[in-house]
Structure formats: structure tokens, C-alpha cells
Amino acid sequence: MNLERFGMDTITLAGPLEAKLKAVREAGFGQIMLQARDIAGHPAGEAAAIAAVRASGLRVTGFQVLRDFEGLSGHLHEYKVDIAKAMLEMCHALGSRVLLACSSVSSHSTDDPAAMTRDLQKLAMLAVPYGIRIAYEALSWGRHVNELPKAWEIVAEADRANLGVGVDSFHILAAKTAPEELEEIDPARIVLVQLADFMWQEARSFEERIETARHFRVFPGEGVHSAQVADLVRRVDRMGYRGDYSLEVFNDDYVQMPLAVVAERGRRSVQWLSALTSRGGLPPRARATSSPPASPRR
Amino acid sequence: MTIEERLPEPSNPLGIDGIEFIEYATSQPQALGGVLQVMGFAPAARHRSREVMLYRQGGMNLVVNSSGQAPASPAISAIALRVRDAGFAHRRSLELGAWDMPTRAAEMELNIPGIRGAGDSLIYFVDRYRDFEIYDVDFIFDENTNRKPVAIAGLHWFGVVQAVQAERSADWIDFYRHLLGFSVLPEGQYFGVLPKGTLLESPCHRFYLQLIEPPSGAEDLHWDEGLLRVGLGAPDAPAAVRALQQRGVVFVDHGAVQPSHKGALTQASLGGLCFELVVSDPGRKA
């Protein structure tokens, strides 16, 4: 089984950060996706959280999530730039090479593609000194960008080496994005693939999607869209994607179950998934993560 | 009706006009000063209030900063660029996503704006270099020293070499291209005796940045991002090598790196400090 390219996400698991890291490690995973809350909300403080992650031996798949960055103006934009900077600094401190930024839901955001492009270029520029790549993800309830092809359009227009898209199977399934549309994306610009399924056929309204996405996701292989998830994984693999896969499963039941039980479900999901992907080694980007760039002077 | 005409971006939006100074940080200013003097840099002035020295050679200004927490081994801590309007250059850079420099790094009395560069280094913007020099305010010149010491064998700034992490050249190319207007030279166009990496030319065509990734197969090699060394241009490289050898400079002369008509590399001292000599005639380039 090729567990190397798959990671779990702390949002799937209950309990303190250290317990999550241990459970993921013990289930045989080599990496973990972290959220800012894991760090900022640690009872012993940020430094202790960072030390726990570094001591776990797990590679950090990525850091989430920067919300509502693109399309704002004036003081709202300035405010978001400050937030982005703080997140980039945390991301770097954790040794993560990927920051996930999801499409704006703000009613104050513009639908002007040129403005969104400019903002993502700025975000990518801010990330350069820290050696971080930006994965721009289309939330299926995003205000102006709610499907992957639209996110790719903006990313392609922005044309920055450290800016790409984050592919999330949940949003593709919920928005019913045609699988063929993925093929338009340059595989080198897919920064991260996040995988999850859910238990019902459709999530039509934005409200339904939000509710499903935040409470009722399940591991790939456990839901009703197994064929589509398998197709997505095979497709990006065939396109030449050799990056990481993260299991992004928000589920209210899983956060009240023993960690080992949930991590085992994750492991079984990977068993199912890994039969679908190439057995090539670690992605080149992942290999470089052993020593991230030195901290720029503050 | 408003007509929005999409004009091409100016190729030198900041009006970059060469390097004003290169700054080294070290807690061993005497030792570095010794090496610099052998290389032909003469001590010219001392900072009024901080442990900062100005060295000069021909048109080159080199600042040695020993205030604050400087590393023992000299490291290039800043490149100061001559620009048309320093305030504009600073504002535009921040607007495009540069990080402002930390305020405590402002070593000069004059307000020289800057942004973060690679590793721990900074990029300063200087617009007072024609009729007035920034050093006139911050530094005390020794009346007995020559304020404009002649360069040995026509030495001048050629460029700076930057270490980047594996597969990170494209990220830094974007940084220099979009923030400062640098352009990538076609692959295979190299200068000097160390032909590797990516070469970026300044929009004023007066100096270069070279990005080098860690050699393949050396994953265990310690490789931090940052500015590695400066390149000094010389119209006649062998003549410059001879002149510097006479002053006691030792050049690397084994393996693939040999002094030649293309350039040379000085032997590292003080824990890694070295200079690259590259054949270049600024008169011809202009």
C-alpha cells in the first residue's frame, strides 16, 4: 500500500493536537493537513503546537485556510493582506510548503476577474520569500468562483509559478463539475488534491452544500460517489499529477469517536484509493520539504 | 465614456539604474575589512552613530554592518538599488506583494525604504545618488582618505549570486521579474567560470542576478536560501586576476574552476566569503 502520498486532516479528528498527530502516525500515515486553529488554539501556545508538529515526524501536507482574500478593496483588502501575512508566517513556522486559499464568499467581493487575478498574484508574491505555494480552491458556494474551472481560469491568468489550484472532490461532486473539465488544468499547477465523499446524491443549494461539507463528509470509498471519486483520482493521476492527496473529511460523528477508530477508517480509505494511483515515489516537491527556506528576517 | 487602453508595462517601471551599495553583515568587521582591502576596497567613511563602515573602489560602495545581531561569517545582508523615486519603488513593491523591511533594520539616519529579499537579506531603494550622496549625511569621511579610490583593473559590480531551494528558481524569477523588472537571459548564456543556474538581467542592463539551486543528488547538503556572493566585473579578467594576485588574493585553481579569460573565483575565507570575477566591460554594454 502506498501511504506516502496520502495524509489525514486534523479537522476529521477530535481531541488535542498531540493525540491527533499520534493517531495519524500510528495508522501509518506520513503526513497531515493542519488548520490554523490547531496552532492558534493550542492550550500551551503556538510555539508548543509547532514543536509538537515538528516532533511528530509527520510531513505537513498543507496549512488551511485563508478565506475571502480575493476581490476585496480598500481597507477590507488591507485587512486581508495582514491576515494572509500572519497565516504565511504560521505556515512557514510549521514547515508547510502549501497554503490553502479558498474562493471568496464575501458579499463585498467583486466579480471582476482582473481584480481577483491581481489579488492572487499579490498573495503568491507574499508567499515567495517563505517558499510557500498557494492552492486556490473553488468552494462550491463561493460567491463568484464556485467551480474548479473558474478557479483555474483565474490561476492561469495570474500565471505565477507558486500559484496553483487546490482540487477538492467534495466541491466537484457538489457542484456537478464535468470530470472532463479537469483535463484543461496544467497538472504542474495542481498544488493539492483533497478527497472526500458524502452520503447523498445531490447537494443543490449553497446552504445544502455548506451543511453537507461541514458536517456530513465521509472518507473516499464510504459514500455514494465512489465511482466519481475513483474517476477523479485516476484522471489527475493520468494527467501527471504526482503531488499529495489529503483526506478532507468534516464529519460530526468522527469527531466523537476514538481517534484510532477514525484513523483506521482513513487507512482503509487509502487502501481503496491507492489501488487507483501510480506507484511512483514521493512527488518531487514533497522531497524538497525536508529543509524549508530560512525564515526571512522579521 | 472612459477608454481603458491596455498599454504594455514599462520594461523598467522603477527606473533602476544600477547598484548603489552592497551591504555585508558580520560580527568580525576588522577581519572582513582586511579581506576587502586586499580585494582593492578602501575604507572611506565611518557611520556617525553605528558600527557601520563604508568601503569604496571605483564606482562601488560596500557597507560593512556590525551593529545588532550580525553573524560571525560575513553574509550579504542587502542590495541597495538606485531607482528613480525610492518612495514610489517602495509603495509599488508593497502593492504587488513585497514584505516591508523590518523597521529595526533601518540602519541609516536617512530614511532608506526597503523590502525583504532572499533569506535574511533586504533590498533597499535609493534615489539620491546623482548630485548628493546618502553617505554625506550618515557617514563621517576621513579627510586624509581618497573619497574616490580608483578601481583595480576596472573592477565594477557585475552581480549577485543567490542560493534558492530545489525547484524554486521559477518562484524567484517571478519575484524579480514582477517586482523589479528583471528579465531572464536565454538558457546557455553564461558569464564567468561557474556556468550554472538561471541568469536574470537588471532592467537597466547593468548587472545580473544568478539563481542557483542545490546540485542534484545532494539532498543532504545544507542549502539555505540567501545571497551567496558578489560578482565583480573586469574588462580584462586575466589582468584583474594578476593585479589581485599581486595584492595577495588567492584564486581557486583546481578541478573545473580555473582562472581564465572568462573569470575566476577567489578562495573562500572567514567561513565562506568569496568573490567571483567575471569578464565584463561596462563601456561596451551601455
Q: What is the ipTM of this complex?
A: 0.91
Q: Which residues of A226-256 are buried (b: 16+ CB within 10 A; e: fewer)?
A: eebbbebbebbbeeebbbbbbbbbbbeebbe
Take residue B90 and report the three cell numbers written for it: 517602495
| C-alpha separations of B29 from B21, B38, B53 in Å | 17, 14, 8
For residue B38, how far is the Cα from the chain centroid? 19
Which residues in chain B (83-112) have CB-CB distances under 8 A to chain A?
95-99, 102, 105
| C-alpha separations of A73 from A13, A69, A145, B96 in Å | 36, 10, 17, 14
- CA A40 to chain B, closest CA, distance in angstroms equals 23
Take residue A287 and report the three cell numbers written for it: 522531497
**Higher-confidence position of A58 and B105:** A58
3-state helix, strand, coil split of chain A in percent (to 5) is: 50, 15, 35
Q: Would you say B124 and B204 are in contact if contact means Cβ atoms under 8 Å apart?
A: no
**Higher-confidence position of B253 and B187:** B253
Q: Which residue has the cell 456530513?
A: A216
Domains of chain B, start order: 19-141 (3.10.180.10), 153-285 (3.10.180.10)
Q: Is A7 helix (H, G, I), strand (E, B) or coil?
A: strand
- CA A93 to chain B, closest CA, distance in angstroms equals 14
How far is residue A144's CA from residue B217's CA, in Å, rounded to a whole number? 45
All residues of chain B having their beta carbon less than 8 Å from the beta carbon of residue A290 are 219
- The reported pLDDT for the residue numbered A298 is 41
- CA B116 to chain A, closest CA, distance in angstroms equals 7
- The reported pLDDT for the residue numbered A270 is 93
Nearest CA to A7 out of A255, A245, A201 is that of A245
Selecting from B116, B175, B219 the residue whose C-beta is nearest the C-beta of A297 gives B116
Nearest CA to B157 out of B265, B36, B60, B23 is that of B60
End-to-end CA distance of chain B: 43
**Which amino acid, A62?**
G
A131 contacts B171? CB cut-off 8 A = yes
How far is residue A55's CA from residue A49's CA, in Å, rounded to a whole number? 10
Q: Would you say B52 and B117 are in contact if contact means Cβ atoms under 8 Å apart?
A: no
Q: Where are the domains of chain A?
A: 6-282
How far is residue A264's CA from residue A32's CA, in Å, rounded to a whole number? 15
How far is residue A123's CA from residue B172's CA, in Å, rounded to a whole number? 14
> Which tens digits make up the pLDDT trace of A63-92?
999 999 999 999 999 999 999 999 999 999
- The reported pLDDT for the residue numbered B161 is 95
Nearest CA to A247 out of A283, A280, A223 is that of A223
For residue A99, the tally of other CB atoms under 10 A from its CB is 30
User: Which of B198, B225, B227 to mutate to test binding with chain A, by most A CBs within 10 Å of its CB?
Assistant: B225
How far is residue A273's CA from residue A266's CA, in Å, rounded to a whole number? 10
A162 contacts B167? CB cut-off 8 A = no
Tell me which of A24-38, B87-101, B108-122 is least confident.
B108-122
> Which tens digits make up the pLDDT trace of A127-161?
999 999 999 999 999 999 999 999 999 999 999 99
Take residue B161 and report the three cell numbers written for it: 549570486
In words, the CATH class of domain A6-282 is alpha beta
All residues of chain B having their beta carbon less than 8 Å from the beta carbon of residue A92 are none
For residue B130, how far is the Cα from the chain centroid? 19
Instruction: Determine contact: A160 vs chain B, CB below 8 A.
Output: yes
| C-alpha separations of B252 from B7, B8, B135, B211 in Å | 49, 45, 35, 21
For residue B213, the chain A residue with the least C-alpha distance is: A288
Strands B122-126 and B75-82: parallel
> Which tens digits make up the pLDDT trace of B125-167?
999 888 778 888 888 998 887 778 899 999 999 999 999 999 9
Instruction: Determine contact: A261 vs chain B, CB below 8 A.
Output: no
Instruction: Determine contact: B124 vs chain A, CB below 8 A.
Output: no
Q: Would you say A149 and A119 are in contact if contact means Cβ atoms under 8 Å apart?
A: no
Grade residue B8 by pLDDT with cuts at 50, 70 and 90.
Answer: low
For residue B221, the tally of other CB atoms under 10 A from its CB is 9
